[in-house]
Every structure is written in C-alpha cells, then in structure tokens.
Amino acid sequence: MGKLQYPYIWLFCAFAALGACQYGYDGVYFSGIQAMDTFIRHFGTRQPDGTYEISPSDLSIMSSMINVGELVGSLGAAPLNDFFGRKGAFFLSAVTAIVGTVLQVITDHDQSIIIGGRVILGLGVGIFSSTSPLYIGEIAPTEIRGPLLGCWQLTLSISQIIAAVINRGTESLTSTASYRIPTAVQLIFPILVLAFLYWVPESPRWLMRRSKEERCNSALRLLHKDDKTYDPSMDITSIESSLAVEAEQSAQSKWIDLIKDPIERRKVVYSAGALVAQQINGIQWFYYFGTVFSQAIGLEDPFLMSIIVFSIQVVTVFIAVLCANRIPRRPLLLTTTMVMMISIFIVGCLGIPGGEVSGTSGKVIISFVIIEITAFNFAWGPLGWTIASEMAVGRNRNKIYAIAVACFWVTVWVTVFTLPYLYYTANLGPKTGFVYTGLCCITLTYVWFCVGEVTGRSMEEIEGVFRDGVPARQWSTQPKLSSAEIRSLNEVSIEKGKLEQS
C-alpha cells in the first residue's frame, strides 16, 4: 500500500471536520431523546388518559430552534473569519457550543432552557459549518480538494451513527440519564477543538491577506511537512498573485455587489443553491425525526432501525469519498436525485389508505427510506458542501459562503419546523412524501443549470469561468491552466483594474 500523500493536510482537515460531528450528532441524538419515555414525561404535557405527550408545536420549536442559532452563526462567521481568522472562528464556535450544550444538560422539566440552550449551541454549529469547509478548501491541494471536502459528510455520518448507538444504549433507563447522557456526549467535539487548536496552522490565504508572510511560510511548511523538497515560496507567490487580484477588485466591494454584480450574483446562486437543493428533498425528515417516524409507522425497535440506517449511510459516504474524482458530477446528481424522487413518492403512496400504517407497509416504507438515504449520501451528501465551497471564489469568498450556509440553515429550519405540522396536524402521515417529491424537481433543475465539472481545477480557474460567463454545462470543455498561466492572467487582471481606475 502506497504512502498517503499530504498526511498533515489530511490531519488538519480531519480537525476542521469536527464541526460536521457537532452538526450531525445533534440532529440524530435529539430525534432519539424525543422518543424516550422519560424525556416525554419531563417535557411533555399530561393527557386526560394519564399519558404524556409532546405536542406537534412543542416538537417543532424544540427541534428547529437550533437552526435559528445556526443561521445567525453562519452569517456572523463572515466577519469573524475576516477579523479573527479561521482559528479564531473555531475557538469562538467551540466555546459557544459548550455553553449551549451545558444549558441543555443541566435543565429538567423546563422547555425554555432546552430551547435557549439549543439556540446558543446553534450559534457554535453555524460558525463551525461556515468555517470548516472554508478552511478545508483553502489548505487542500487541488487534486484532493474534492475528497477532503467530501470527508465533511463522512465525519457527519459517523457522528450520526454514534448518536444512534448512544440513544439505543440509554433509552431503557428510567432516570434523566436516559436523555442527559446523549446530550452531554456532544461536549466531546468542542472540547477536542479547544484541546488541539494550538497546533493547527492558520489558513495561509488568510495570513497573506493580513500581510503575515513569515507566518504564512511557517503554515505552508507545516502543511507540507512530509515533503522534504517542498518550497513554500512557490505557493506564496501564487497566493500573493491571487490575493492581489482580489484586493484590486475588492477596493470598492460591498455586500450589495452580491446582488448588483452579475458575476458575483451568479456565484451566490450557484453556491447557496447547492446547499438549498441538498436539503429540500426531504432528507431532514429522516435525520431530525427518524426515530419518531419509525415509531409512528409501527416499527418494533426504532432505535435499532436508526443504527442500521446510519451504518448503511457511513458505508455509502465512504464509497462516495473514494469515488469523488472518478464519477462526473452532473450525471451522478441527476441519477441519484431521480432515485430519491421515486423513493419518497412511493413512501407517499403507501400512506394513501390513511389511518394506522400496517406492519408490512411500515417495513416497505423504511426500505424506501433506506434507498433515499443511500442515494442522498452517495451524491448530494458530500457534493452539496463541496460545490458550495468551490463556487464561493474570488474577492467575496467569505461573504458568498456565509450566505450559502445561511440559506442552508433557513432551509433546514423550514423543513424541521413544518414537518410535525404536515405529519400530525395536517394528518398527512407518510403522504408528506408527496410534498418532497415536488421539491425534488427544484433540485433537478439546479443540477441541470448550475452544476459544472470543476474536478482538478484551481480556485483561480473556477473564478475564470465565472468571469468569462461560461455556462455550467460547458465547464468540462474549458482548458486547464498551469500555475504560470494563472499568475499571468492575474497580472493582466491587476493591470486592467489599474487602467480602469485611472
């Protein structure tokens, strides 16, 4: 077996992916504790027959309020990353996540503290989700950028199966430990961030933007420590050239340019569209309410089913990461989206009779749910984050990506908040699948018009296809440029900008 290339870059990208663990773990663990008897008794309301129940409105608020914090955190990540750097943003997100988690652990019988804790936790998760892929995209060499960004979804999936296993282990407990233990476990991720942050190098691009060439040199040497022949001056020259163009272009850059400037507006649509298209197909139905949904359709052991589903997911994402640079994106996303659309349509059809779902129908429904999750994680799971990060290029990179992640959290919040109402209050049950069948059409439209092939292309080349107005369907036909050609184009752009100003 050959030596792993860029081992230190893989290591530091794994550190950045701890943010995905925080996000992935939360959705699954909270779905599980909502189905636990102790949690329902402590945070639900007593019914006339003596049982306890959490109303659809309370279920919506407790589940979705974390998305409000995530939205604010992702938008705030842009100025935080500009001012404090990637490491500073990691530190702030870890501290915030710890505070939010502690609030949820210490409360008992008080929904307001649960909700407040989830909002604060969401702030940390939002900063993580904006900063981690940004950092990975900036330190990863072009040839392994796709697989490394895909690892965001892999670590997310691993954290989900950890949450499912812990829920299964504690759900039989009759004390508050049944839900407090799964809640407290998510403290591990931000604590790990704080423990290892000192040794992690800052983004070389951010250091150069702050004119800290010596620290940039040290960061590049650490990232390429395994390569004894590595010369950081070559990368510094390339980064300087790229940043010079950004500086020249951003002299008058404002947030409003993301709307007025057609080139920047297109980047926003492509970047944000990737994360919106990733989420509107109903996948959060099974992430945030998977255990509750399994109970509703009559499965005997919903906690075990969650473990099985997420185990399949981990294997699927791992295979997807291995195939990241081997399968063209457009046909892959078109095919898997069609599979998801058909699967969730069948789930809707199985709910048409109404009333209680039979045991046989429940097993068929969960089979198609597994098919949908498998299709999602083979393509959209890793590629959504990859495409969003790659499309956020140029002088407004931080702003564009922050907007993209904010759109992601808005989409997740709308999905999570409305699901209990659709399923219970509107009495759609499994017929909710019809709603997401229609939304899958939007995902297909996005793929057709906005997904181009950029595997193996540098950030400067991607900026070039935007600048030249090349349609996404034609990106694969564009010639690849050498480092010397990229620097030459950057110099031309700088001179052109100076002439326009004069």
Dist. CA 376–CA 337, nearest whole Å: 8
Q: Judge contact between 23 and 158, C-beta under 8 A.
A: no
Q: Within 10 Å of residue 320's Cβ, how many Cβ atoms?
A: 24
Tokens of 95: 């501290």
Task: Return the number of other C-beta atoms located less than 10 Å from residue 493's C-beta.
Answer: 21
Q: At what angle do helices 18-33 and 111-139 cross, to 10 degrees?
A: 150
pLDDT at 1: 41
**Cβ–Cβ < 8 Å for 310, 153:** no
The separation between CA 196 and the C-alpha centre of its own chain, rounded to angstroms, equals 22
Nearest-angstrom CA–CA distance, 492 and 67? 44
Q: In Å, what is the CA distance from 112 to each residue of 46, 65, 119?
A: 18, 11, 11
Q: Are 32 and 171 in contact (CB under 8 A)?
A: yes
In this structure, are strands 45-46 and 52-53 parallel, antiparallel, or unpaired? antiparallel
At residue 464, the pLDDT reads 84
- Alpha carbon 213 to its chain centroid, in Å, reads 31
Give how far Cα 220 sits from Cα of 5, 141, 207, 244, 320, Å.
15, 11, 11, 19, 29
The count of other CB atoms within 10 Å of the CB of residue 205 is 23
Could you give the domains of the chain? 8-202+276-456+467-473 (1.20.1250.20)
Q: What is the pLDDT along the chain (502 residues), one digit of tens a residue?
A: 446 788 899 899 889 988 888 888 987 888 888 889 999 999 888 888 888 888 888 888 888 888 889 889 988 888 898 889 999 999 999 999 999 999 999 988 888 999 999 999 999 998 988 888 889 888 888 778 777 877 777 888 889 889 989 998 998 898 999 999 999 999 999 999 999 999 999 999 889 888 888 898 888 888 888 777 777 776 777 776 666 666 655 555 677 888 888 999 999 999 999 999 998 887 877 776 677 777 777 777 778 877 888 888 888 888 888 887 788 888 999 999 999 999 999 988 887 766 666 667 778 888 888 898 899 989 998 888 889 988 988 878 878 888 888 898 889 888 888 888 888 888 888 888 899 999 999 999 999 999 988 877 877 788 888 988 999 989 888 887 666 666 665 555 555 545 444 4
CA proximity to 167, closest of 332, 29, 329: 29
Report the alpha-carbon distance of residue 31 to residue 493 in Å, rounded.
51
Q: Which two tokens stand for residue 300?
A: 């005997």
- Type of residue at 355: G
pTM of the model: 0.76
pLDDT at 409: 84
Radius of gyration from C-alpha coordinates of the chain: 23
Distance CA 342, CA 377 (A): 16
Chain-centroid distance of CA 182 in Å reads: 21
* Dist CA 195 CA 94 (whole Å): 10
Count of CB atoms situated within 10 Å of the CB of 261 = 16
